[in-house]
Amino acid sequence: MLTICKSIQNRQPLDCTAECWKKQRNQRLADAFGSSKDLEENKQQIQFEYYPEDSIEFAQKNEKFAQKVESQLTDVVLHKSSRSFLNLTSSKRAFLTRYVYEHFKLDMCTYGSKLAVKSSSNTTNGKAVTDVFWKEGCRVPEILVSEVIKLIEKGFMSSNHEATRNKIFEASLVITGVPKGSGLDEIKRLLNAF
């Protein structure tokens, strides 16, 4: 571990392993969230992720699946590997997709369908397969959605589902390269590729 590495003078520190990384992260979280007072004193150490309400709700209803996904995606990042997920429902695939692209910064590909898909090296036997791949720049979020749920349950954080759903959200989207005089149908065709 790092403490052993640093204790030997004139020696380059060893790379942090997956086990070492998990231990350090768990210690930072324990320090930050031991109590309300600890949270206030240590929250600068934690980079809070934004998890949309639908991700939090899904993870609350599917806690074991969410924890399994977090564990497997963490392994993909730390071991520079890949993982396959079979026959995900649309809600599970949506949760996984958001986690992969927005929080872990990984890459993924879904192939196969209800029909049997065969190739020389792979037979999915009618199952949709979603593969998640390591890519340069990927990371493990400082705080996972399952940990956010625990913080909500302990009262450290709140989930204002009803309050925020009734508010109006405004945003502007600027799209360049649309020819002047384009009709609504032409703009819709351009936006399909967007």
Which CATH code fits 49-157?
3.30.1370
- Write down the pLDDT at residue 99: 92
Euclidean distance between the first and the last CA atom of the chain, given in angstroms as a whole number: 47
Confidence of residue 47 (pLDDT cuts 50, 70, 90): low
Domain extent listing, the chain: 1-46, 49-157
The pLDDT tens digits of the residues spanning 12-26 come to 666 666 667 667 766
- Whole-angstrom CA distances from 119 to 40, 111, 136 are 55, 12, 29
Mean per-residue pLDDT, 22-35: 64
| Residue 43 near residue 32, CB atoms below 8 Å | yes
d(CA 118, CA 137): 33
DSSP code of 117? -
- Write down the pLDDT at residue 95: 94
